[in-house]
A = this chain, B = another copy of it.
Amino acid sequence: MAKRFSAEKYVAGILAGDRVMLSRAITLVESKLHSDHELAQEVISQVLPHAGNSVRIGITGVPGVGKSTFIEAFGIYLIQQQQKKLAVLAIDPTSQRSGGSILGDKTRMDTLATNPQAFIRPSPAGKSLGGVTRSTRESIILCEAAGFDTIFVETVGVGQSETAVHAMVDFFLLLMLAGAGDELQGIKRGIMEMADAIAITKADGSNKDKAKVARAEYQNALHLYPRAASGWLPHVSTCSALQQQTGLNTIWQTISEYLQLTRSNGYFEQKRRDQNLQWMYEAIRQGLEEHFYNHQQVKAQLPDVAAQVKEGKKSAFAAASELLGLV
């Protein structure tokens, strides 16, 4: 079992901006050990009054879009040009590998990883998306309490994790590649709808014209959607690892405009409040199911009952009633 400290020690370290202690606190909230949960909740509760003062940005895109390169360049830009302190949290539901996930692999963000104003944390991708997103949300709070004012939550744009990430960030940035048709193949369609901005990467050299065309196409497509509740019309821009400054500055301007709009019309605050509540209901659901499916009798009888349901010998609802009656 890993080393544990008192809640006070974690809290003091985090509030002092101690990166090692921040890292250990994240390990604590990621722990699946029941014995760690109470301590983790205690730490979260104590740092909560010091959290919230950040801009939370979700960044997604299919593998190959150049996410690491973009995050490294955009991160350095924010630190150097905008005097930000940046934490990068990565979720990768597709990888079951323990240790470093493919997403947050530090070796792919060398410059950012060694910058004292940046903190990079890959999620240990587990079986349960619920578990990963839960700890990611708590990690955001820990990073904010440690003084990070800009949080990236990075994910692969291929599935369900985007909805979870969308529910924990203020701004959702989608990275896309130019090129006929491939936009539909990689990105699940619902994801485009969640984007507050789309950035078309690798807009350089012979790719530049294609990127411009793609930009116009996406901008048109986004116009067809009904206006979002925030009053915001998603922006589309292009960027390149070779011509970073122009593209990155445009993206930051877009984010700033979004923040200005949504902070002045109250949407920013409202969304965060709604997200808090949404996570409470989600946590209740998880708690109820965890308790139920770990019950001895349910564990013993579930396989048989499930088999009967699968075979159509028992109705889904009769089976549910039967199992619910055991607890």
Contact = CB atoms under 8 A, between A and B. Distances in A.
A32 interface: no
A224 B184 contact: yes
Contacts of A210: none
Top 6 A-B pairs, shortest CB-CB distance: A283-B320, A279-B316, A280-B316, A189-B189, A184-B224, A288-B288
A41 B288 contact: no
A285 interface: yes
23 contacts: A41-B318, A44-B318, A137-B316, A138-B317, A141-B315, A184-B221, A184-B224, A184-B225, A185-B225, A190-B190, A272-B312, A273-B310, A273-B311, A276-B310, A277-B316, A280-B309, A280-B316, A283-B319, A284-B289, A284-B323, A285-B288, A287-B321, A288-B292
Interface in A291-323: 291-292, 305-306, 309-321, 323
Contacts of A226: 185
A90 interface: no
Assembly of this chain: how many copies? 2
A212 B274 CA distance: 44
Contact of A277 (B138, B310, B323): B310
B221 A277 contact: no
A184 B226 CA distance: 9
Given A276-B309, A315-B138, A287 B324 contact: yes
A320 B48 contact: no
Nearest to A44: B315
